[in-house]
């Protein structure tokens, strides 16, 4: 059975990072962007990471420029932004595509394992994204700050759509720890 631990991704310096190194840890994998209306979620992600890191949580950020080019910087610029603006200590890896033919295989796997529930229940946010991406496939990452919770064995447990604030995920993280 394939798990998140079977994938290798580049870090911000371009070095191959095998995700098996996180075996035994709960992961929250998030596609992030520095020029998005949801960018302040970095603060909540960092708070989750600091609150639960010692108990076994690691947040992994994956910058993506696929949504209205809201992550245009280089990997070095993204690292600097995360450090200086939000004091991010969790790993922010290399910029990747999360949808389409160039999507990193990790996100293809995450999307297949947890297709999501992005729909009218998300109100105005859903309406706005639906106008911007009317032809998006149901399993696609809808926007920046889509979050995937992964258990200690590397199995995808749940997907959280972009408007779900990180603090709302804390009970689910705690249950896995």
- The catalytic site residues sit at 36
CA distance 22 to 41: 23
- 49, 25 contact by CB (below 8 A): no
Pull the structure tokens for residue 43.
């603060």
The phi and psi torsions of 73 (rounded to 5 degrees) equal -70, 170
The closest of 143, 15, 23, 16 to 4, measured between CA atoms, is: 23
Residues sharing a CB contact under 8 Å with residue 43, sequence separation 6 or more, in sequence order: 86
Q: 158 has which bridge partners?
A: 149
User: Any residues with CB less than 8 A from the CB of 151 and at least 6 apart, and which?
Assistant: 26, 157, 176
Cα–Cα distances in Å, from 157 out to 14, 108, 128, 151, 172? Answer: 28, 15, 27, 6, 9
């Amino acid at each position: 059975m394939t798990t998140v631990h079977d994938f290798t991704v580049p870090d911000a310096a371009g070095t191959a990072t095998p995700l098996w190194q996180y075996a035994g840890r709960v992961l929250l994998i998030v596609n992030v962007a520095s020029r998005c209306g949801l960018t302040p979620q970095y603060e909540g992600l960092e708070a989750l990471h600091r609150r639960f890191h010692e108990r076994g949580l690691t947040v992994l950020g994956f910058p993506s420029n696929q949504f209205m080019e809201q992550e245009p910087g280089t990997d070095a610029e993204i690292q600097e932004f995360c450090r200086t603006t939000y004091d991010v200590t969790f790993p922010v890896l290399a910029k990747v595509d999360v949808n389409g033919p160039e999507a990193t295989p990790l996100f293809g796997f995450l999307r297949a394992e947890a297709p999501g529930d992005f729909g009218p229940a998300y109100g105005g946010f859903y309406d706005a994204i639906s106008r911007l991406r009317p032809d998006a496939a149901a399993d696609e990452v809808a926007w920046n700050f889509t979050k995937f919770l992964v258990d200690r064995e590397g199995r995808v447990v749940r997907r959280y759509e972009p408007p779900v604030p990180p603090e709302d995920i804390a009970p689910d993280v705690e249950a896995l720890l």
